[in-house]
C-alpha cells in the first residue's frame, strides 16, 4: 500500500483538492493517507474532509491523523508539504511593519521583504522535515507546495540530509490555460515550453500544430487597451516572452511597478492583497468546518496540480511531464548551479528527472539572477546564522531597493528580526 503524508494538512481546501486528485486514480484508491498538523482542531477538520472525500470516491483509503510529524512520516513513500509557519499573524507582521517604512507589497510570499522573512521562518521547519525523512522514510519523495519555492528548495538541497525533493506550483499550467482561453484556442490543442525560476519563469514556446500563438496574443492585446494595464502584459511587451506568474506577484519581484501611487494605479495593483486573501482563507476554513459538521456536500473536481500525477507515474510507471523546481544541475546554464530552477521534468518509476532547457534567452537569465541573488543571500543567512546576510538579501531585493534607502532598509530588517523572534533560525534571533 502506498503511503502519502500530508504535512500541514489543516489547509483543508488544498487537502481536499489533492486528495480528490489522488484517490480518483483507481490505482491509488486504497492509499494510506497520513494527515499531520500541529493544530489539533485543524487536524480534526482535515480528517473530516479527508473521510468525506474518500467516501465520495469509493471509501477504499486508509486515513490516519498525527500531531507528531515523525510518526506521520514513518514509512512514507511521498510527503506533501504545505505548511505556513506563523499563519495569519506572521503575515500581518510582514505587511504592517514594512508599510510603516513606505514599502508597498502585494502578496509578500516569494521575494521582497515578505518573501525573505517567510523563508527564514520556514527553512528550520523544512530542514526538520528533511531530518525526519532521512531517518524514517529515506526513499520518500518530498513534494513541496510551500512558498517561497526557490528559496526553500535551495535551502533543502544544501542543508538537508534527505535529497529527493521537488517543488510544485500551478503557475505554468494555469498561465497556459488562461492564455489559451484569451486567444480562444482549445487548451488541449496547445503545446508549450516554460523555464526559469518559480514565479519568474517564462513561456518560451506557445504553439498549436507548429503555429506560434504569440502573434495572436499580441493582436488580442492591441484590441483591448485594458490588457496593457497589467504587469504581465508589460513584461511580455518588453521581454518578448509571457511570465508564468500573476501581475500581483510579478510586480514585487521588480523595481519598476510599486515605487509610487501612479504606477500602482496604472497597472491596477492592489497593495496588501494577500492580507485580504489570508482573511478570506480563515473565513473559508470556518465555513468548511461548519459545513462538515452539518453534513453538507462540497465540490470535487480534478485540479491542475501536479502532485497526483507524480505519485501515479511513480507507482504505475505511466510517464508524465510536469513542471518542477529542482536544483540547477546544468539545467539552465546561465543561472547559478546551487540555485533552484523551474523546468520540465519527466516522471516515471525511476523518479523525477529534470530536463535541461538549452538556449534560454540571456535577458531572461539576467532578470532571474536579480531574483536569485536575494534567494541565495536568504539561504546563506538561514544556514550560516548570519543576521548581516538578511540585510544583504534586503539590499539586493529589487522592489525594496527601488523604494527604500540603506538606512531605512537596515532599520526595517532589524525590526522584523525582532518581531518574528522564535520562528527564525536560532542564529538570527536577538
pLDDT of residue 41: 95
Residues 6, 50: Cα–Cα separation, whole Å: 11
- Return the pLDDT at 298: 87
Listed in sequence order, the residues at least 6 apart from 48 whose beta carbon sits closer than 8 Å to its beta carbon are 292, 293
* Band of pLDDT at residue 407, cut at 50, 70 and 90: very high
Tally of CB atoms within 10 A around 275:
18
For the chain, domain boundaries: 3-87+109-168+299-312
What tens digit of pLDDT does each residue of 153-168 get?
A: 999 999 999 999 999 9
Place of cell 488580442: 220
| Distant-in-sequence, close-in-space partners of 220: CB < 8 Å, separation ≥ 6 | 182, 183, 227
Q: Is the peptide bond before 148 cis (omega within 30 degrees of 0)?
A: yes
Please give the Cα distance from 299 to 42 (Å, whole number).
20
Query: pLDDT digit string (tens) for 56-69?
Result: 999 999 999 999 99
The pLDDT of residue 353 is above 90: yes
Spatial separation of the C-alpha atoms in residues 255 and 225, rounded to whole Å: 23
- Which residues pair with residue 62 across a beta bridge? 32
Query: Is pLDDT of 13 > 90?
Result: no
Catalytic residue among 66, 170, 392, 420: 170
Closest CA to 79 of 26, 156, 148: 156
Q: What is the DSSP letter of 329?
A: S
pLDDT tens string 310-340: 999 999 999 999 999 999 999 999 999 999 9
Distances in Å between the Cα of 383 and the Cα atoms of 124, 154, 156, 389, 426 are 9, 11, 10, 10, 10
Q: Give the pLDDT mean for 113-119.
A: 98
Q: Name the DSSP letter for residue 140.
A: P
- Long-range CB pairs of 231-239, under 8 A, 24+ apart, other chains included: 231/257, 231/267, 231/269, 234/267, 239/202, 239/363, 239/364, 239/367
Strands 78-81 and 62-66: unpaired
Please write the tens of the pLDDT for every residue from 210-235: 999 999 999 999 999 899 899 999 99
Cell (9 digits) for 25: 486514480
Nearest to 32 by CA among 49, 19, 48: 19
pLDDT in tens, 238-278: 999 999 999 999 999 999 999 999 999 999 999 999 999 99
Active site residue 363: no
pLDDT tens digits along 44-93: 999 999 999 999 999 999 999 999 999 999 999 999 999 999 999 999 99
Angle at 107 between CA 102 and CA 109, to 5 degrees: 105
**Cα–Cα distance for residue pair 84/221, rounded to 1 Å:** 37
Indicate if the pLDDT at residue 430 is higher than 80: no
CA 216 to CA 295: how far, in whole Å? 47
- pLDDT per residue over 123-145, tens digit each? 999 999 999 999 999 999 999 99
- Fold that domain 3-87+109-168+299-312 belongs to in CATH: Rossmann fold (3.40.50)
Residue 59 makes CB contacts below 8 A (sequence gap 6+) with none
Q: Are 79 and 360 in contact (CB under 8 A)?
A: no
Cα–Cα nearest to 26, from 400, 308, 358: 308
pLDDT at 14: 87
Integer Cα distance of 34 and 40 in angstroms = 14
User: Averaged over 6-35, what is the pLDDT?
Assistant: 94
pLDDT band of residue 12 (cuts 50, 70, 90) is confident
Average of per-residue pLDDT values in the chain: 96
Amino acid at each position: 500500500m502506498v503511503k502519502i503524508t500530508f504535512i500541514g494538512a489543516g489547509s483543508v481546501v488544498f487537502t481536499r483538492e489533492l486528495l480528490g486528485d489522488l484517490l480518483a486514480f483507481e490505482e491509488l484508491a486504497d492509499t494510506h493517507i497520513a494527515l499531520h498538523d500541529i493544530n489539533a482542531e485543524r487536524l480534526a477538520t482535515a480528517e473530516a474532509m479527508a473521510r468525506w472525500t474518500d467516501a465520495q470516491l469509493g471509501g477504499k483509503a486508509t486515513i490516519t491523523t498525527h500531531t507528531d510529524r515523525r510518526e506521520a512520516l514513518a514509512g512514507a513513500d511521498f510527503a506533501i508539504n504545505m505548511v505556513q509557519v506563523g499563519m495569519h499573524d506572521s503575515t500581518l507582521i510582514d505587511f504592517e511593519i514594512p508599510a510603516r517604512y513606505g514599502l508597498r507589497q502585494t502578496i509578500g510570499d516569494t521575494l521582497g521583504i515578505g518573501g525573505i522573512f517567510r523563508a527564514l521562518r520556514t527553512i528550520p521547519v523544512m530542514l526538520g522535515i528533511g531530518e525526519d525523512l532521512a531517518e524514517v522514510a529515506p526513499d520518500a519523495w518530498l513534494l513541496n507546495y510551500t512558498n517561497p519555492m526557490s528559496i526553500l528548495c535551495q535551502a533543502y538541497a544544501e542543508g538537508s540530509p534527505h535529497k529527493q525533493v521537488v517543488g510544485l506550483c500551478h503557475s505554468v499550467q494555469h498561465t497556459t490555460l488562461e492564455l489559451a482561453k484569451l486567444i480562444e484556442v482549445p487548451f488541449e490543442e496547445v503545446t508549450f515550453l516554460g523555464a526559469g525560476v518559480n514565479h519568474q519563469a517564462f513561456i518560451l514556446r506557445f504553439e498549436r500544430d507548429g503555429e506560434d500563438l504569440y502573434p495572436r496574443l499580441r493582436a488580442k492585446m492591441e484590441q483591448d487597451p485594458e490588457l496593457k494595464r497589467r504587469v504581465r502584459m508589460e513584461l511580455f511587451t518588453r521581454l518578448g516572452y509571457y511570465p508564468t506568474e500573476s501581475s500581483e506577484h510579478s510586480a514585487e519581484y521588480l523595481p519598476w511597478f510599486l515605487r509610487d501611487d501612479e504606477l500602482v494605479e496604472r497597472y491596477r495593483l492592489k497593495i496588501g492583497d494577500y492580507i485580504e486573501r489570508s482573511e478570506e482563507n480563515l473565513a473559508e476554513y470556518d465555513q468548511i468546518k461548519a459545513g462538515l459538521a452539518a453534513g453538507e456536500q462540497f465540490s470535487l473536481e480534478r485540479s491542475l496540480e501536479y502532485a497526483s500525477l507524480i505519485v501515479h507515474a511513480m507507482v504505475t510507471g505511466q510517464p508524465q511531464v510536469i513542471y518542477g523546481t529542482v536544483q540547477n544541475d546544468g539545467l539552465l546554464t546561465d543561472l547559478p548551479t546551487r540555485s533552484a530552477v523551474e523546468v520540465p521534468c519527466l516522471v516515471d518509476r525511476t523518479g523525477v528527472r529534470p530536463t535541461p532547457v538549452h538556449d534560454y534567452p540571456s535577458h531572461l537569465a539576467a532578470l532571474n539572477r536579480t531574483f536569485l541573488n536575494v534567494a541565495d543571500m536568504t539561504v546563506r543567512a538561514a544556514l550560516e546564522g548570519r543576521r548581516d546576510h538578511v540585510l544583504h538579501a534586503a539590499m539586493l531585493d529589487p522592489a525594496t531597493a527601488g523604494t527604500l534607502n540603506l538606512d531605512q532598509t537596515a532599520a526595517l530588517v532589524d525590526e522584523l528580526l525582532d518581531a518574528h523572534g522564535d520562528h527564525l533560525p536560532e542564529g538570527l534571533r536577538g
